Amino acid sequence: MSLTDPQLAGIRATATRHAVYGLVVLSGLSFAAAIVGAQGATRAGAPNVQLARAVAEVEQLDALRSTLARTFAAGGVSATDSTFDQVCKPVKMQAMSVAKANGWSIAQLAERYRNPENALDAEAARVFGAMQRDPEMMGQWVHATRDGSTGVRYFRRITVESSCLACHGARAERPAFVQQRYPADKAYGFSAGDLRGVYSVFLPDSIRRK
Ligand code: HEC
């Protein structure tokens, strides 16, 4: 599925932009309605309630990380292994548990990754590139295949906030545990507002039709 397909044009979800900054539940749901409605209306096999739920779940994951990072940035916690457990690991674990509960696959992928497991694949790289060119583009869904199953893949922009910079800012200022655990780290040197990466959720058709 090519991203030049006009029905796959990116969502410019201006009404939901505030969702990025943390007004979680309502914004997440209106974002879900916007992206599913705008892109799914005219296509056979259009996304259903499962995709809307995936969109809402991703908003919650993003809000969780914002909250944890703000708590971290507010101080009082030093950047040791245990703070790693307080910021990005819970997001990953929550993503895994949401994925398992729903039969989805969820990942957080980046061009400049910290963990090589989170590198962009070709399809994610195309969406990431489109988001780089268009700062208003919040999300995108495409028809996709994974491990032989057809389905829908939903992408959502991940934006750098100032609270992220303690760990994703200047290279020399990264916490010691980051420097030690991630020798090939590329996820530094960001500024607030930068495109950091994308959430990716794959929803197999077998699940979506239930
Ligand atoms: C306390 C340090 C810390 C803070 C604060 C932090 N991160 Fe991270 N981040 C990490 C670590 C460590 C990883 C690697 C996790 C792994 O091994 O999968 C990571 C991974 C990521 C990834 C997955 C892609 C990759 O590079 O491997 C994204 C996306 C991400 N962070 C975004 C953010 C955003 C956005 C914020 C702010 C809202 C933030 N992080 C705040 C430490 C941090």
Residue 48 covered by a domain: yes
Angle (CA) 131-101-127 rounded to 5° is 10
- Name the one residue in this structure whose structure tokens are 């590139």: 129
Neighbours of 20 (CB within 10 A): 20
3-state DSSP assignment of residue 152: strand
**Ligand 1 geometric centre to CA of 88 (Å):** 5
How does residue 48 score in pLDDT terms, banded at 50, 70 and 90? confident
What whole-number distance in Å separates Cα of residue 189 and Cα of residue 17?
Answer: 24
The answer to whether residue 163 scores a pLDDT higher than 60 is yes
The pTM (predicted TM-score) of the whole model is 0.83
Identify the residue with better confidence: 184 or 208: 184
What whole-number distance in Å separates Cα of residue 161 and Cα of residue 166?
Answer: 10
Average pLDDT across the chain, whole number: 80
Residue with the smallest CA separation from ligand 1 atom 37 is 164
The answer to whether residue 183 scores a pLDDT higher than 50 is yes
What whole-number distance in Å separates Cα of residue 89 and Cα of residue 36?
Answer: 29
Q: Which of 58, 68, 82, 168 to mutate to test the pocket of ligand 1 (most atoms within 8 A of CB)?
A: 168
Neighbours of 38 (CB within 10 A): 15
pLDDT, residue 165, reads 94
- Name every residue whose Cβ is closer than 8 Å to that of residue 172 and which is 6 or more positions away in sequence: none
Stretch among 8-17, 31-40, 92-101 having the lowest mean pLDDT? 8-17
What is the domain count for the chain?
1
* Pair 63, 167: CB distance under 8 Å: no
- Single-letter amino acid, residue 174: R
The answer to whether residue 4 scores a pLDDT higher than 80 is no
How does residue 47 score in pLDDT terms, banded at 50, 70 and 90? low
pLDDT, residue 101, reads 96
Residue 1 covered by a domain: no
The answer to whether residue 166 scores a pLDDT higher than 60 is yes
**Ligand 1 geometric centre to CA of 209 (Å):** 34
Containing structural domain, residue 119: 6-208
pLDDT, residue 9, reads 37
Residue 184 covered by a domain: yes
Average pLDDT, integer, range 10-20: 38
- Single-letter amino acid, residue 23: L
The answer to whether residue 89 scores a pLDDT higher than 80 is no
pLDDT, residue 1, reads 37
Residue with the smallest CA separation from ligand 1 atom 33 is 164
